[in-house]
Copies of this chain bind each other. A is one copy, B any other.
Amino acid sequence: LEIKTMPPRKSYLTFERPLTTVDIVIFAVRDESLQVLLVRRSSRDDDPFPGAWALPGGFVDVHRDDTLEHAARRKLFEKTSVKSPYLEQLGSWGGKQRDPRGWTTSHVYFALVSADSVSLVAGGNAEDVAWHPAVAPIGRKRLAFDHSEILEIAIERLQSKAEYTSLPAFLLDEPFTLPQLQRMYEIVLGRTVDKSGFRTRALAADFLIETGEIDVGAPRPAMGYRLRDRKRPAIFPRTFSSRKHGS
């Protein structure tokens, strides 16, 4: 085996390192619409994008955070007090131009929570943290950094996965009823869904466990369900995509 000459170990690692951050797209359904949690950046003008809305997040703390996911859960808990939401990695954005302070990488996570489980933790000002509608024209909201683009992609991912997985179930507290779950799908997908087909599909996928009838204020009580697995969504054999049902 050939030994190649290399610089000594310590000097080998002294090159410049990018800043490493974690950001979270937190979705919830409030007032019958899909919303996303945003925070307002400080208004001191030696910070980038002073006063602009941005995705919650921050720098990875190499002493407090064991992994990227831990960092994401920490940031999420700091803002919402939610302990164990559904969380998945959306992707990473890294480059020279996205932050005026230099080369940064953002590791973006994607969280689904129920609106009721959240208690917002604001900074000094109550308007520092707030829910915003997550609809198509969100791109025109001009978030800080490249967060508008990231949010668009997060919405696309949520809608796309709602077509063939049980993801929208993570937007509800347990137990929930099938009509409530159907409503989550309709809100996320932005169109109505046929009741009969929805029930057949949801029950056939075998990701729900009955918890007994519950009364949600409707004239007739409905069967309550909880998720068999709160870590991963179930995957359906085909997508939705109705023909005559339009929004």
Q: Give A contacts to B, CB under 8 Å.
A: 1-9, 13, 15-20, 42-44, 46-49, 51-52, 59-63, 65-68, 70, 89, 91-98, 100-103, 105, 107, 123-125, 142, 144, 237-239, 241
* Inter-chain contact A95/B107, CB cutoff 8 Å: no
* Inter-chain contact A66/B96, CB cutoff 8 Å: yes
Q: Which residues of B contact A98 (CB under 8 A)?
A: 3
Q: How far is the CA of A16 from the CA of B61 in the complex (A)?
A: 8
* Inter-chain contact A2/B102, CB cutoff 8 Å: no
| Known contacts A1-B43, A1-B49, A144-B1: A62-B96 contact under CB 8 Å | yes
* Inter-chain contact B100/A3, CB cutoff 8 Å: yes
- What 4 pairs between A and B have smallest CB-CB spacing? A67-B95, A68-B94, A17-B17, A62-B103
Q: Which residues of B contact A15 (CB under 8 A)?
A: 59, 61-62
* Inter-chain contact B3/A44, CB cutoff 8 Å: yes
User: Per DSSP, are chain A's interface residues mostly helix, strand or loop, or mixed?
Assistant: loop
* Inter-chain contact A18/B60, CB cutoff 8 Å: yes
9 further interface pairs, Cβ-Cβ under 8 Å (given A4-B42, A20-B94, A67-B95): A1-B43, A4-B100, A8-B101, A13-B19, A20-B20, A60-B103, A91-B92, A92-B92, A238-B238
Q: Name the distance in Å between A7's Cβ and chain B's nearest Cβ.
A: 8
Task: Across the interface, name the chain B residue whose C-beta is closest to A238.
Answer: B238
* Inter-chain contact B123/A94, CB cutoff 8 Å: no
Task: Across the interface, name the chain B residue whose C-beta is closest to A7.
Answer: B46
* Inter-chain contact B51/A18, CB cutoff 8 Å: no
- Contacts A/B (CB < 8 Å), 6 sampled: A17-B18, A18-B20, A18-B62, A67-B94, A89-B92, A92-B107
Q: Which residues of B contact A65 (CB under 8 A)?
A: 96
* Inter-chain contact A100/B5, CB cutoff 8 Å: yes
Q: How far is the CA of A46 from the CA of B16 in the complex (A)?
A: 21
Q: How far is the CA of A19 from the CA of B167 in the complex (A)?
A: 33
* Inter-chain contact A1/B51, CB cutoff 8 Å: yes
Q: How far is the CA of A20 from the CA of B61 in the complex (A)?
A: 14
Q: Which residues of B contact A96 (CB under 8 A)?
A: 62, 65-67
